[in-house]
A and B are shown apart, each in its own frame.
Chain A
Amino acid sequence: MRKIWWKIVTVLLLLYVISMTFLVKLDPGLIGTDTGRLSPGVSSVVITGHNTHFGSLTSNEFNVFLEHDRHFICAQSAEAIDNTSIRVSFNIPDTLLAPYFNLFVNNAIDGNMFLANAFFVDGVVITSDPTEYYCKPAVENTSYAGFGFPFQPVIFESIRNLMLHVPMWFTMFFIMLIGFISSLRYLNKPSLEMDLRAVNANRVGLLFAVLGLITGSIWARFTWGDWWVADPQLNGALVTFLIYVGYMVLRAQIEDEQKRARVAAVFNIFAYVILFILLMILPRFTEGLHPGKGGNPGFNTYDLDSSLRAVFYPAVTGWILLGYWIYHLRLRLNRAELKLYYDEKA
């Protein structure tokens, strides 16, 4: 029992994480409107939400207003069509501070929902004096009371990938670190055991690198529109993958066991340091689409609030433990194979 308690923990953690990742609903938010262009005067639009509860509210419980530069235009009327759409009408004056508007929808259940740059008004005269058309809505800053993942524009439901993509890379780092330390120990005092640890760690690390690349690519397709972009972190990740594939090729090319172990250890140390520079240091000073630039480890974009944290930390722990488990199994298998090989030779 002492030896397998962590395996049971791994299974439980991953069951929790996977079920939560796919079952927790997203917080309510606004997706869009049926038209983005308005004209001065009275116009009626249909606003669509996601996971909203419009249907269970009466029309006077909605607070819908347009906003720019801290000036608001309140809606004249708002009525729910169904749970996820409302029909709203606005009376827009001829002279405005600016032609674009952000949209706020607030109600007691869904809280405050926001859609940036929702409307553009044609044919207005721009003035710098705010007029009396602007109203002052009386709302508190409320939020949805239930447990859900944050609603973020562009990302929407794919925020669930946070529990898969990011832990893959954390796991790769951790497993490669095991390999790195084994290589250092090998060079300090050569032994077959250290060489086995290094090679198996790199094999499992390579698996997680591939998974990280695949999950990242799928995420990129849905948020950035492309399967791959030119970004320092993506480049670093691909280079890392290629370096460790090169490690495998290097091992395959050398026949003599001891020489192979020694040369592979040297290359492993070199590879890990390069990996560290490319993935941890270089991206912090450059710009790009992938979060993690400009000096921060980059989770701020996702508003890593408590609902995400509740699944994310167990996810990282669970995946790292799983990676270690796979490494451990591979190592034992490799040891057993070699033992068999040497016993047969004797």
Chain B
Amino acid sequence: MISRILYLMRHEARLEFRQKHTIAGIALFALSTVYLCYQAFQKLDDGTTWNALLWVILLFTAFSAVGKSFQGQRRGLRLYLFWTVRPQEYIVAKVIYNMGLMLLLSLLAFGAYGLFLGSTPIDGKWGGYLIGLLMGSIGFASLLTLISAIAAQSETGVGLTAILGMPIAIPHILLLNRYNAQLLQGIPLADNGVNLLFMLILTFGILGLSYLLFPYLWGD
């Protein structure tokens, strides 16, 4: 089963590389947004604003990148996959692939953001902040993969992903903000860790639900 999951992940990556323009488009979106914010703010020293803005950018990047993961799947491909792989394997492969993709995009956006808008708020707290980045990325990826699978079943898929996904992304963002605010204030991880724990609970709860529910979405 693991080998099939790995194969599916490689298959996804291969599909992405064949159409490089999709992933390039999303990277361009992220970088342009960062640059736009740079033009507006020049340099941000206030930790709260810095953090909130970065996560707004990452949220919309996530919606663009992961939200389209089930779009544009031709019927022939879906039928082929339906007969060859188990749905659980497919969704696990897709989620892990999206987690990797999201992590890559968020590191890219984070790098550009730090470059343009300065990184004074998080000096000396890189490790903690990167953990937050990791948690947020995998959280968004798992959530949006399931939502995009659900939304793909309807005729008008794109707008629906945002409508369905945004309410559930709100607690993620709140937990992230709380974690980051406490991190920037210097609160040690022992007290701050509960926020990360809850993000993990949400992420893996959604992952578990995806594993159980995706087979019902699969049969078409």
Task: Check A267–B209 contact: CB distance below 8 A.
Answer: no
- Which residue from chain A places its CB closest to the CB of B208 in the assembled complex? A273
Task: Check A270–B213 contact: CB distance below 8 A.
Answer: yes
Give the distance in Å from the alpha carbon of A282 to the alpha carbon of B202 in the complex: 10
Chain B contact residues (Cβ within 8 angstroms of A): what range? 20 to 34
Q: Which of A261-275 contact B (CB under 8 A)?
A: 262-263, 265-267, 269-270, 273-274
Give the distance in Å from the alpha carbon of A287 to the alpha carbon of B178 in the complex: 12
Give the distance in Å from the alpha carbon of A269 to the alpha carbon of B215 in the complex: 14
One digit per residue, 1 when the CB lies within 8 angstroms of any chain A CB and 0 when it does not, for chain B 187-219 equals 000000010001001100110010001001100
Give the distance in Å from the alpha carbon of A285 to the alpha carbon of B205 in the complex: 17
Task: Check B213–A250 contact: CB distance below 8 A.
Answer: no
Number of interface residues of A (CB under 8 A): 29
B153: Cβ under 8 A from any A Cβ: yes
Task: Check B213–A266 contact: CB distance below 8 A.
Answer: yes
- Which residue from chain A places its CB closest to the CB of B165 in the assembled complex? A246
**Residues in A whose Cβ lies below 8 Å from that of B151:** 250
- Which residue from chain A places its CB closest to the CB of B198 in the assembled complex? A282
Q: CB < 8 Å: which of B153, B160, B198, B209 contacts A269?
A: B209
- Which residue from chain B places its CB closest to the CB of A252 in the assembled complex? B154
Task: Check A266–B170 contact: CB distance below 8 A.
Answer: no
Q: Output the least CB separation between A213 and chain B (Å).
A: 14
One digit per residue, 1 when the CB lies within 8 angstroms of any chain B CB and 0 when it does not, for chain A 307-345 equals 000000000000000000000000000000000000000
A46: Cβ under 8 A from any B Cβ: no
Task: Check B155–A253 contact: CB distance below 8 A.
Answer: yes
Q: CB < 8 Å: which of B163, B168, B198 contacts A274?
A: B168
**Residues in A whose Cβ lies below 8 Å from that of B198:** 282, 285
Task: Check B216–A273 contact: CB distance below 8 A.
Answer: no
Task: Check B153–A263 contact: CB distance below 8 A.
Answer: yes
Q: Tell me the interface secondary structure of chain A in the complex.
A: helix
B6: Cβ under 8 A from any A Cβ: no
B156: Cβ under 8 A from any A Cβ: yes
Q: Output the least CB separation between B148 and chain A (Å).
A: 12
Q: Output the least CB separation between B156 and chain A (Å).
A: 6
**Residues in A whose Cβ lies below 8 Å from that of B155:** 253-255
Q: Output the least CB separation between B62 and chain A (Å).
A: 17
11 A-B interface contacts by CB (under 8 A):
A238-B170, A239-B168, A239-B170, A239-B171, A242-B166, A259-B153, A259-B220, A262-B216, A263-B150, A263-B153, A285-B198
Report which B residues bind A (CB closer than 8 A).
Answer: 146, 150-151, 153-156, 160, 163-164, 166-168, 170-171, 174, 194, 198, 201-202, 205-206, 209, 213, 216-217, 220
Other than the given A242-B170, A243-B168, A254-B153, 16 more pairs (CB < 8 A) read: A235-B171, A239-B171, A242-B167, A243-B167, A246-B167, A250-B154, A253-B154, A253-B156, A253-B160, A254-B155, A259-B220, A266-B150, A273-B205, A274-B206, A277-B205, A285-B198
Return the 3 tightest CB-CB contacts between A and B, nearest first.
A242-B167, A253-B154, A246-B164
Report which A residues bind B (CB closer than 8 A).
Answer: 187, 232, 235-236, 238-239, 242-243, 246, 249-250, 253-255, 259, 262-263, 265-267, 269-270, 273-274, 277-278, 281-282, 285
